[in-house]
Amino acid sequence: MRGEYKAYAESSSRIAQAYLCSSGGNTVRIRLLDDKGYLTIKGPSVGISRFEWEMEIPQADARALLGLCKGGVIDKTRYRVPFKGHLFEVDEFYGDNEGLTVAEVELASETEPFEKPDWVGEEVSDDPRYRNSHLLSHPYKNW
């Protein structure tokens, strides 16, 4: 993915995230997004859709919970890039995942039409290697 998206980004945030558990497609994630903390629970994928529940938690609690997570921490910058009526979230990874950049767009349904920007590359929605929980145990540098 080319870096052109940065020129069009309306904002960006630094993210640190790790997993309290990840099993059978279910994950419990802790995230620090700039100065805010979040607890997120995700269910298994059904097609390219997935149940997600998220709650903001105090930053100090998120930092403490990150310390309980095993397997490391994902470190990335997220760029929010509007494009033709949709918002693309582009994650640029660091550390063991340096060199990996992934774009995601939230849709109302899997069949909602959208135009893909020129700077978006290969479609990887169905490839579990690109899930953050997978990148901790199988980092991009080892692919």
Distance separating alpha carbons of residues 5 and 89, to the nearest angstrom: 10
Please say if 130 is a catalytic residue. no
Rounded (10°) CA dihedral 127, 133, 139, 143:
-20
Catalytic residue chosen out of the listed positions 8, 19, 79, 130? 19
Would the CA dihedral through 92, 90, 61, 59 be positive or negative? positive
**Could you give the residue numbers annotated as active site?**
19
